[in-house]
Amino acid sequence: MRIADRISHIAGDGSDGWEIYHRTLEMQARGERILPLTIGEHDIRTDPAILEAMNASARAGNTGYAFGPGHRDLREAIAARTEARTGVPTSWKNVVVTAGGQAALFASHMALLDADSTGLHCDPFYATYPGTIHATGARSRRVPTTSDRDFLPQEADILARAEGARTLLINTPNNPTGVVYDRATLEGIARAVTQADLWLISDEVYDSQVWTGEHISPRALPGMEERTIVIGSMSKSHAMTGSRLGWVVAPEPVAEAVTMLATSTTYGVPAFIQDAALFALNQGPAFEAKIAEPFRRRREIALRVLAGANAIRVIHSSGAMYVMLDIRATGLDGKGFANRLLDEEKIAVMPGESFGDASAGHIRVALTIADDQFEEALTRLAGFAERLLP
């Protein structure tokens, strides 16, 4: 009797950086007041109007199996949103609705990686990436990036690690770095994946959270539509994390492969959730901007409070609900800094080490608590860092 190795491989890559998160929960359970800047969860709930639409759909009887790639009207709405944002003509046949962006990430890698093949992802990375690749039976390989280049993946670094790989997973706007990839970076990525003949899996779940510049989907670059799979989600754009609704936008053969997979995994996304998502998408871009607005404000607070700090360098912040801070001048690593900040200031942040080796010596701040508390937390964090200066 034994558990499959696959499972230990999924968990095996995790760093103990999550220790901070668990310690925070324990301290809170003991009644301590902690300012939590750890996880990417909105501090607002799903809009009541979306819940009304969900309720109305369920009450109307949409509670049976909803097998398949998603309702045609929802797939059309996702295709229209994709087309409006990227200019790339997109059919509903390119769209498969999944149980959140995470299921879309898993399904895409399942569809494109064989067991014992290799999938690339960038370092630093969103926590689930290595495990998602390993869950398919494939190996993962990291493409390192560097703090001094805002953690933007470089063409030469991708090519240097492309031997034998089939996929490259990128993420813009980026979690954990808060950086939106610029056009030159994306063009370099496009050249590298074309030369090495890789599929490009582009995680764009933060595409509604762009503070400076513009979000460019690599699928919109010349020649890239046929090798790019875009991952999207209602989680961040519409504050619907718990509803589990995401999607894959892909060339039709890949979309069909992802649909096949649903039969042996999720069996489709509940119809009343799909109807709620359609209602939400129909509210248009202004609604998405309203959901993103608190993060826009808090990013500005962070930049204002940290301007002139000697102990902290802010990584170029252009999108997503996070700001990445280089704290190496304090002499501590990310884990040491985060642990002392939690003990001494009761502020919880994620150590960069929990996102890979490339972001060691950094911390990630989530923009997910009320403005006044956020300003208090950042002011105290900055003071704490200054006192550590040699």
Binding site for ligand PMP (CB under 6 A): 40, 100-102, 126, 171, 175, 203, 205, 233, 235, 241, 246
User: 97 vs 312, which CB is nearer to ligand PMP?
Assistant: 97
* Among 189, 131, 96, 169, residue whose Cα is nearest residue 8: 131
Q: How far is the CB of 232 from ligand PMP (least distance, A)?
A: 8
**Displacement of CA 59 from its chain's centroid (Å):** 33
CA distance linking residue 345 with residue 212, whole number of Å: 31
DSSP 369: S
Q: Which is nearer to ligand PMP, 40 or 385 (CB)?
A: 40
Of the pair 121, 328, the CB lying nearest ligand PMP is at: 121
> Which helix (H) or strand (E) element contains residue 162?
none
Nearer to ligand PMP, 188 or 232 (CB): 232
Cβ proximity to ligand PMP, 191 vs 296, nearer residue: 296
In whole angstroms, the minimum distance from the beta carbon of 238 to ligand PMP comes to 11
Q: How far is the CB of 126 from ligand PMP (least distance, A)?
A: 4
* CB-nearer residue toward ligand PMP: 243 or 330: 243
DSSP-assigned letters across all residues of 180-247: PPPHHHHHHHHHHHHHTT-EEEEE-TTTT-B-SS----GGGSTT-GGGEEEEEEHHHHTT-GGG--EE
CB nearer to ligand PMP: pick between 181 and 384? 181
The terminus-to-terminus CA distance of the chain in angstroms comes to 56
Nearest to ligand PMP of 126, 181 (CB atom): 126
* Nearest distance in Å: CB 79, ligand PMP: 18
Contact 175, 101 (CB under 8 A): no
CB of 220 to ligand PMP, least distance (A): 19
DSSP state letters, 27-78: HHHTT---EEE-S---SSPPPHHHHHHHHHHHHTT--S---SS--HHHHHHH
> Least distance from C-beta 246 to ligand PMP, angstroms?
4
Q: Which residue is nearest to ligand PMP (CB)?
A: 101
Sign of CA dihedral 370, 215, 175, 284: positive
Q: Give the shortest CB-186-to-ligand PMP separation in angstroms.
A: 16
* β-pairing verdict for 139-144 and 118-123: parallel
* Minimum CB–partner distance for residue 203 and ligand PMP (Å): 5
Tokens of residue 275, six digits: 């109807």
